[in-house]
Structure 1
């Protein structure tokens, strides 16, 4: 996904955080690129370093549009949830695929639906890459 990094900051007791603007919203998440990177556009891979627990940090979405937004100390990722053959989850966020570790099987009928994930912002990471 192409994102615009607005600023990168380090706060005491937390990892490097980037304030980013995406085609589907803006939020602050962990930055895994160069600490000296400045504002600008970057192609990034999104990762979630937290197990997905249905009913705890994942629930059915009200809307049917991809969205990224802040939610206190969390990041809310809204997209379509699918399963891989090995049982891992995939969140489709406007064409960007984010792999998810599922803590337990999903309830019946959830696969292929719109969901919201509530993930601690330090557990959502951006890895920039060159095309």
Structure 2
């Protein structure tokens, strides 16, 4: 996914954080690239390092301005809105504006949530961006 890197910053006892913008939102998440990265556009892979538990850190995207991808800060969390996909072998993916993010599930998802818009509430340090070159 193409993002705009606004800046990279380091706070005491915290990982490097990237202040990023997308066409559908803005937040700060863990940066796995060069800490000296200059502002600009980067292709990145999103990773979520937290188990998904329906009803705790994942819920239907109801009343969030309609369907479509979303990204925002929610207190100490990052809120990602995307379309949830469940594969035949039970793996869960978040379709985040055409980019698939593999999700680790703590428990099986309810049967009626596949192919619906969901929001994930993930601690900022558990969401990372890894830049790559095309």
Range class of TM-score, shorter chain: over 0.9
Q: 1:91 aligned to 77, 91, 94, which one?
A: 94
Structure 2 match to 1:122: 125
Q: Structure 2 CA distance, aligned partners of 1:2 and 1:127?
A: 11
Structure 2 match to 1:2: 2
Q: How many residues are matched?
A: 131
Query: Secondary structure at the residue paired with 2:112?
Result: coil
TM-score for the superposition, normalised by structure 2: 0.95
Q: Structure 1 CA distance, aligned partners of 2:124 and 2:34?
A: 18
Structure 2 match to 1:13: 13
Q: Kindly state the Cα deviation for residue 87 of structure 1 after the two structures are TM-superposed.
A: 2.0
Structure 2 match to 1:42: 42
Q: Structure 1 CA distance, aligned partners of 2:55 and 2:15?
A: 27
Q: Kindly state the Cα deviation for residue 86 of structure 1 after the two structures are TM-superposed.
A: 3.1
Structure 2 match to 1:54: 54
What pairs up with 1:64-103 in 2 under 5 angstroms?
64-103=67-106
Q: Kindly state the Cα deviation for residue 108 of structure 1 after the two structures are TM-superposed.
A: 1.9
TM-score for the superposition, normalised by structure 1: 0.97
Long gaps (5+) in structure 2: none
Question: What's the C-alpha RMSD, in Å, of the aligned pairs?
Answer: 0.8
Q: Structure 2 CA distance, aligned partners of 1:127 and 1:118?
A: 20
